[in-house]
Copies of this chain bind each other. A is one copy, B any other.
Amino acid sequence: MKPKDDSKIEEIFEATLQLVKEHGLSGITVNMIAKKAGFATGTVYTYFENKEQLILKLFDRCFSNYARDYFAGFDPTAPFKVAFHTIWVNMIRHSMDRFSELVFIEQCFHSPYISEESRATYKEVFLPWKEMIEKGKREGLVKQLDVMWLMLYVRGTIREIVKYVQYNQLQITPEFIEQMFNMCWDGIKD
């Protein structure tokens, strides 16, 4: 007997991510995914109920990856700037290393696939991050604005930088990352 091969799920996911990066969510077919992953169309349906489920499962996966990398090595008791720096670097590294996942998530948000509930879940993951910034705010280390704006500010900065680096296939250095961090830090610090 040929057991259901879980690595195939990974191959399907990887093929989907590459194709979405290249053609956009609107430009891919199940057939393309199967071909790219190296097997027949029908096989996709052994592992996923239908195309929508494939997209949703991949979305969950990407999201989990993001949340996992995001808080790696995060110590809530560390001084604010240290903790902030840890997460900031985590974010930019994750976004660089898993750029196709970033693109995929963005594409999903403006698609018929992701419902409002999914969007809600999206936010919850960032609660520890939010609390950390609130702590920094209480300590008078960051601007006295609604924390949401500070968070968006950080995300926007990172997202644009990563996109540019990727689309222009640039090599980045630790120094570059520190420069970007400083720019971002100068924006939020009080």
**Are B179 and A112 neighbours in the complex by a CB distance under 8 Å?**
no
On chain B, the residues within 8 Å of A188 by CB distance are: 183, 186
Instruction: Given A26-B26, A110-B24, check contact A160 B164 (CB 8 Å).
Output: no
CB contact list, A162-188 vs B, under 8 A:
163-164, 179-180, 182-184, 186-188
Q: How many copies does the complex hold?
A: 4
Residue of B nearest to A152 (CB): B160
Asked if A18 is an interface residue, CB under 8 A from chain B, the answer is: no
On chain B, the residues within 8 Å of A149 by CB distance are: 161, 164, 179-180, 183
Q: State which size class the interface on A falls in.
A: 35 or more
On chain B, the residues within 8 Å of A20 by CB distance are: 110
**Are A153 and B157 neighbours in the complex by a CB distance under 8 Å?**
yes
Instruction: Given A26-B25, A111-B24, A112-B27, check contact A155 B160 (CB 8 Å).
Output: yes
Q: Which of A110, A150, A179, A182 has the most CB of B within 10 A?
A: A110
